[in-house]
Amino acid sequence: MKKISVMIVMVMLLAAGCVNITYLGQKYQPTKKVTFYYSWSIVPTDRYTVIGKAIEVADEDAWSSEIHDDLIEKAESVGADAVVIDSMHRKISGRVVNYSNPWVDYYDWNCNNYWGGPFYYNSPMSYWGTSGVNVYYNYDTVIVAKFLKNKTFFEKHPEVKPTE
């Protein structure tokens, strides 16, 4: 039983902060150093050419450093020299509906009625127009990044073609 519990905890830890990257574009020999740009305004456009596009979906628990490192790792693996963030937004990935009211447990029984016994009422929240249903949304962060290759690479190695 203990081994199963440990395995469940390990799987949950691995699943926490999940990041998924989809890459569409050309692939070259892996590189070792990738420059990261957060905006097109600071990219020297005369220096780079776009070789592909990456779409990264990270759950709301993912750290920004994890997202950054995963994009760098993916860029190195496809032979990019730079990464630039094209856009970033949040999307709803799920919904949790909680039908209990947090006030009910505390306010269910009130002994201040006329006879001294328990007096039941729904909740003080109902007086303010809430029904006791809470809806929580889970969000994913979607990052669209462009992978760039140095133009001098193509000038020095015109024979090099993208790999499959």
Instruction: Give the residue extent of every domain in the chain.
Output: 17-94+137-156
Q: What are 10-69's pLDDT values in tens digits? A: 444 444 456 789 999 999 999 999 999 999 999 998 999 999 999 999 988 888 889 999
Q: How far apart are the first and last CA of the chain?
A: 46
**CATH number of this structure's domain 17-94+137-156:** 3.30.110
Residue 81 Rama label (left phi>0; alpha psi -120 to 50; beta): alpha
The whole-model pTM stands at 0.67
What mean pLDDT comes out for the span 130-154? 85
What mean pLDDT comes out for the span 119-131? 48
- Using CA atoms, how far apart are residues 115 and 7, in angstroms rounded to an integer? 55
Provide CB contacts within 8 A for 151, sequence distance 6+: 46, 47, 48, 49
